[in-house]
Amino acid sequence: MKKQKGYIALASMLVIAAVVALIGTTVTLTSINGLQTSFSLYRADSSLDLVEGCAEDALFYLNEINALPATIILPVGSCSIDLESQSGNDWTFIVNGNFSGYTKKVRIQTNRSTTISVTSWQEM
């Protein structure tokens, strides 16, 4: 009867292969999660850029025609403008924007006498 050798080497190789596969899977899943997080942050930043652009246009309208439009359309998207209050020269309004499923809001308080003066600009 022949002695069969190599069982320890074979078992060791299977354990090492399993550990390497586990490490590879972990690294892959961590990388995918990082990419998804990065892409989400990019889209959230883009939605904030959209809202800030709309807010600047709203301030322009307020300065030029003393009124706010209900909607502002930009090349990358559109925003809605909700007037919260207007008392004399004091205006408070909210700019809502949605970019690829990410919604951002900015509340702006202004004073409009001869020019526009922003007293508060708050991301919500």
pLDDT digits 0-9 by tens, 7-44:
888 888 999 999 999 999 999 999 999 988 888 888 88
Q: Is residue 58 part of a domain?
A: yes
Q: Is residue 55 part of a domain?
A: yes
Q: Is residue 1 part of a domain?
A: no
Q: How many domains does the chain have?
A: 1
Contact 55, 108 (CB under 8 A): yes
Q: Is residue 38 part of a domain?
A: yes
Residue 11 has what pLDDT?
Answer: 86
Identify any residues that bridge with 74 across adjacent strands, giving them in sequence order. Answer: 77
Judged on CB neighbours under 10 Å (0-12, 13-18, 19+), 69 is middle
Domain that includes residue 71, residue range: 7-123
CATH number at residue 47: 3.30.1300
Q: Is residue 100 part of a domain?
A: yes
pLDDT digits 0-9 by tens, 54-71:
999 999 999 998 899 999
pTM above 0.85, yes or no: no
